[in-house]
Amino acid sequence: MKLFYVDSLTIALAFLLDLVIGDPKKYHPISAIGKLIQNTENLLRGIHLDGKLGGLLLFLIVCSITLFLSIFFIKLLSLLSALSKSFYFFSLVILIIVSSLFLALKGLILASSTVDRLVNENRLSEARTALKALVGRDTENLTPKQIKIAVVESLSENLSDAMIAPLFYFLIGGFPFLVLYKTINTLDSMVGYKNEKYKNVGWFSARMDDLFNFIPARITGLMIVLATLFIFGAKKAKDSFRIMLRDGRKHLSPNSGIPEAAMAGTLGIMLGGPNYYHGILVEKPYIGEEKEFSDDVIKLAQKVVVLSSFLFLIIALGVRSFIW
């Protein structure tokens, strides 16, 4: 087993395993990374390193630990695989299983389906609570339409964060790069806020997350356009591409707006707009054009997300085999 290279079959099997089985409810590596982030943050704050230097140290300490552990993991599997053919296959299965835990397509689809079902059953209070697992905004007063819009935004953004970006780094740098990306993404989700508590401690993690997502977010937008072509035809694909180019940079994030704009064009809806975060109104620009709004908008977005993931995997593996 090579340290920074994983064969295409292993990547494809990890992808399929996540799609079929999904994430375990306990003992998830992302939860462990989250605890590491929290403990490191508490340690730095305890010694009064809660400024920008603390933010830099938080990033470097956490990423160094997870990168070291991922390299140690691969080295251990390499040693095991060299013992015999049986140990080789055992090591390969372990790598596939653990790698699949850093992908989250099934988890994303299940979480969005739960909210969709609750809204359609008019169980709005439960739907608003379930939505908190997908978005950071205040959900208590959202209307059914606003809930569905929030889910579509989450599906679009998390298509990049949960699938395209992890696969991208898995393809170019093997398991250590996959873990490094998910560590950076988890850091951003936990401390990358502009509020008083995290504007200094989270600044470096947020900037690095922007950097690491720059290319994957744009690939995600293109995959949405391509998936739209297969599912809805050329006219919708043209709208998706047009809105992506026109509105992709309107978002406060340099990356999130790209897939959101592409999805808005695909579905003929308007995303974004003002929302409350921790009781504070945040004025966000609108993305897209509302031509129609289907009650099945979440299911349609899910189809685009799943096909986009498959298309990226197929194209990326094909390109990699041609280059290497």
Residue 302 lies in a domain: yes
Q: In a 3-state reduction of DSSP, which class is residue 282?
A: strand
Residue 120 lies in a domain: yes
Q: Which structural domain range is residue 188 located in?
A: 8-323
The model's pTM: 0.95
Tens digits of residue pLDDT in 237-281: 999 999 999 999 988 889 999 999 999 999 999 999 888 887 888
Residue 2 lies in a domain: no
Size of the chain in residues: 324
Total domains, the chain: 1
Residue 294 lies in a domain: yes
Integer CA distances (angstroms), 118 to 127, 136, 154, in order: 5, 19, 17
Residue 221 lies in a domain: yes
Residue 3 lies in a domain: no
Q: For residue 165, what pLDDT is reported? A: 98
Tens digits of residue pLDDT in 139-195: 998 999 999 999 999 999 999 999 999 999 999 999 999 999 999 999 999 999 888
Average pLDDT for residues 87-91, to the nearest whole number?
Answer: 94
Structure token pair of residue 180? 């490094």
User: Is the per-residue pLDDT at 1 higher than 80?
Assistant: no
End-to-end CA distance of the chain: 16
Tens digits of residue pLDDT in 195-241: 888 999 999 999 999 999 999 999 999 999 999 999 999 999 999 99
Nearest residue to 17 via CA among 25, 7, 9: 9
User: Is the per-residue pLDDT at 55 higher than 90?
Assistant: yes
Residue 112 lies in a domain: yes
**Residue 220: partners with Cβ closer than 8 Å, 6 or more residues away:** 159, 160, 164, 165, 258, 259, 262, 308, 312
Average model confidence (pLDDT) for the chain?
94
Residue 132 lies in a domain: yes
Nearest residue to 121 via CA among 144, 154, 141: 144
